[in-house]
Each structure stands twice: as structure tokens, then as C-alpha cells.
Amino acid sequence: MPSTARPKPLTYADSGVDIDAGDEAVRRIQQHIRRTHGPRVIDNPGGFAGLFRLDFNEQLFRRNYRDPVLVACTDGVGSKVILAIETGVHDTVGIDCVAMNVNDLIVQGAEPLLFLDYIGIHKVDPVMIERLVAGVAKGCEIAGCALVGGETAELPDVYKAGDYDLAGFSLGVVELSRAMDATRVEPGDVVLGLESDGLHSNGFTLVRKIVSARKLNLGKVYPELDASRTLGEVLLTPTRIYAQPIVRAQRAYKVKKVITGMAHITGGGLAGNLVRSLPGDVNAEIDWGAWETPPVFRFLAERGNVEQAEMRRVFNMGIGYCLIVRPNFADATAKRLAKMGERVHTIGRIVKGTGKVVEKPRRKRR
């Protein structure tokens, strides 16, 4: 006779999703989220979405913006998370996630207001989730925006054991009359470059290829690269967040529009991103000798036998953000940014052209 015993009841946990672990992760990250909240965030415990005032009691928002326009963008950390997984260092990529978003947002002249993160993961580890979100919260503090929510999705059928992905969404605001407009860029304008803190979050598929092909050890110290940090620590250096210095630099001039264009230097390198801020009748002439290329780029180029043109096309090469500034205000803007901790270089000028980024012509010796 066939067995009449009923099969064991299946649960969500049997299929790989642990609701209790998810609840524990949420409990752990609350303290980090609250650190980013200012008076414009409305407390909403247990809510399904974050609440943010565009005009709170002191009417600060109304005083700052007469014709406000919301600016939104989304981005992820990319394959840099694979190095985080391999090294077990998870907090720095949270900063990267914020940086990759807010640095894009401020290019439009916007002030970052709020941020949300998304974590897709094979299996929820509350301690790991806390470290990731702690990094996101740290990034929000640096950027001056509020972390108002997020989502952690446990997806064992999508991610293999140990894997996760990290992405974010940011929202900001800009006064319509002060939003960046490429048509304002003119011949004579000066290109200022703000130094990066290394690789930031681009080109890591090539980085990992070099590490693998040359059998480099992420846990080893390479003196020619950095005598005090391992290769893994150097590669995981967080993306620099430029938000607060850029916002303050713009606010220094209430009427004059001295900054005519900006660019966040990400995938595609300096030329591939600065060109997006140019109208079709000018070129940006860049002096590649105006700053020193950081050791990490020289290390990767030498170990991977990567040609200079390819390095420039993939990586930021030491310049993480650019401003195009009216010539009479370039020195003052550079000094103001330097006082706020930025390492600033005059890296080029705008000339008549066809909307391209070109190398500064070298003078011929007689």
C-alpha cells in the first residue's frame, strides 16, 4: 500500500530565505540610518517608505529655492564588490555606493537631499548587512544627505553563496536658474581638476583581470605601490565624495554663474566624461602633466602591460572631478576648494573647437 504519511511542510527558510535574519539586520542598521537624519526627515518607524520635508518649520527650503527642480540618479558599485567579498572588507563599498550617486547628482548643480540603498544577497548575514549599511550611512554623512530607507533582498536563486550586489538611488534639488547648462561654457574658461582617492569605482573588471593574470596577492604589501597597505586595501580605497565642497563653492556666488560646467570622472576616463559638459563649438585642452599620476595607476599599467591610451580611457588617472570656471574666478574657486580639503589643479582651458577633449599641444623646441 502507498504510504499515507504527509511530506514535511515546507517553509520559506527551507527555500533559502531567513525572515528572522532579515529582521535582525533591520534592527542592527537603524542606529546607522538615524545618524544621517536632520530636521527635514520625518520619523516614520515601521513605515514602508521614507518621508522628507521639502519645506520644514523654519522654512529653510523656501528661503533657499524660489524655483526648485528635483534631480535624481541611480548607480551601483559594480564589480568592486567582488574584491570586497574576496577580502572580507564590506564597509568601504557602502561609501562607494553613495559617492557614485551624489557625485553624479552635483554635476547638475544640485544639493543632495536623500539616499536609498538596495542590497541583493544570497543569504542575509546581519553582521555583514550592518557593515554595508554603516558604510552607506558614513557616505551620506560625508555628502550631507539623509539615508531614509532601503531594501535587502535575499535571493539564493539569483546570487551564489557569499555573493551580493549593492546599488543606490539619490535625490537632490537645484534652483532652475542655476542648473548646469553646457551652452554657458566659453573659450577662455579654465578647467580645474580635483584629485581622486585612487581608482574610485570604475575599471574593476580590468583590475581583477590584472590581479588574476599576474597572480597578484590581495593580502600582500607591494612596496612600489604602498609600503603600509595591502594591495586589497589600496584597491578598496573608497570613492571620494565631492558633494559638500562643490555645493559650498557654488553658494559662494549668489548671482554670478562662475562655474559653467562640471564632470564626475568615472567609466570612460577624463576625456569620456568631460566631453559631456561641452557644447559643440569648443574643445577642452587638457595638460596631462598638470598633476602627478598616483602610484596605483602606474602599478596596474606596469603589471598588466596596459597601454597609456587604454589606461586613460578606463580610469580617472588621479582626477576624480572637474569644474569649468570663468577665468577671472578660477584662482579664487581653486583656493576656496583647497581650504575645504580638496587637492586642486589647473588642468586645462576651453578653446574654440568641435566639442572634444584634446591633449594640450606641446611647444616645439627651436
Q: What is the pLDDT of residues 61-91, one digit of tens each?
A: 555 677 888 888 999 999 999 999 999 999 9
Q: What pLDDT shows up at residue 42? A: 60
Q: What pLDDT shows up at residue 185? A: 95
Q: What pLDDT shows up at residue 162? A: 92
Q: What pLDDT shows up at residue 163? A: 94
C-alpha–C-alpha distance, residues 31 and 49, integer Å: 17
Using DSSP, state whether 359 is helix, strand or coil. Answer: strand
Q: Residues 82, 152: contact at Cβ < 8 Å?
A: no
Provide the grid cell at 19. 525572515
CA dist list (Å): 363 to 221, 284, 360: 41, 17, 9
What single-letter DSSP state applies at residue 51? Answer: E
Reported as a pLDDT band with limits 50, 70 and 90, residue 12 is very low
Q: Residues 259, 334: contact at Cβ < 8 Å?
A: no
Q: Could you please state the CATH topology (level 3) that the domain comprising 182-359 is classified under.
A: Phosphoribosyl-aminoimidazole Synthetase; Chain A, domain 2 (3.90.650)
CA dist list (Å): 261 to 7, 258, 279, 347: 66, 9, 10, 14
Cβ-based neighbour number of residue 142 at 10 Å: 18
Reported as a pLDDT band with limits 50, 70 and 90, residue 22 is low
Cβ-based neighbour number of residue 237 at 10 Å: 19
Task: State pTM to two decimals.
Answer: 0.87
Q: How many helices (H) and strands (E) does the chain have?
A: 12, 12
Q: What pLDDT shows up at residue 235? A: 98
pLDDT tens, residue by residue, 314-354: 999 999 999 999 999 999 999 999 999 999 999 999 999 99
Domain ranges, ordered by start, for the chain:
15-49+67-178, 182-359
The answer, yes or no, to whether residue 33 has pLDDT greater than 80, is no
C-alpha–C-alpha distance, residues 96 and 82, integer Å: 13
Q: What pLDDT shows up at residue 254? A: 80
Reported as a pLDDT band with limits 50, 70 and 90, residue 10 is very low
Alpha-carbon Rg for the chain, nearest whole angstrom, is 23
Cβ-based neighbour number of residue 204 at 10 Å: 21
What single-letter DSSP state applies at residue 305? Answer: T
120 vs 57 pLDDT, higher one? 120
Reported as a pLDDT band with limits 50, 70 and 90, residue 11 is very low
- The distance of Cα 234 from the centroid of its chain, to the nearest Å, equals 17
Q: Residues 355, 275: contact at Cβ < 8 Å?
A: yes
What single-letter DSSP state applies at residue 96? Answer: H
Q: Residues 269, 316: contact at Cβ < 8 Å?
A: yes
Top-tier CATH class for 15-49+67-178: alpha beta
The answer, yes or no, to whether residue 140 has pLDDT greater than 60, is yes
Reported as a pLDDT band with limits 50, 70 and 90, residue 167 is very high
Edge to edge, what strands does the sheet with 111-121 contain? 68-76, 164-175, 111-121, 146-154
| Mean pLDDT for all residues in the chain | 88
Q: What angle separates helix 243-251 from helix 92-106, to the nearest 10 degrees?
A: 30
The answer, yes or no, to whether residue 119 has pLDDT greater than 60, is yes
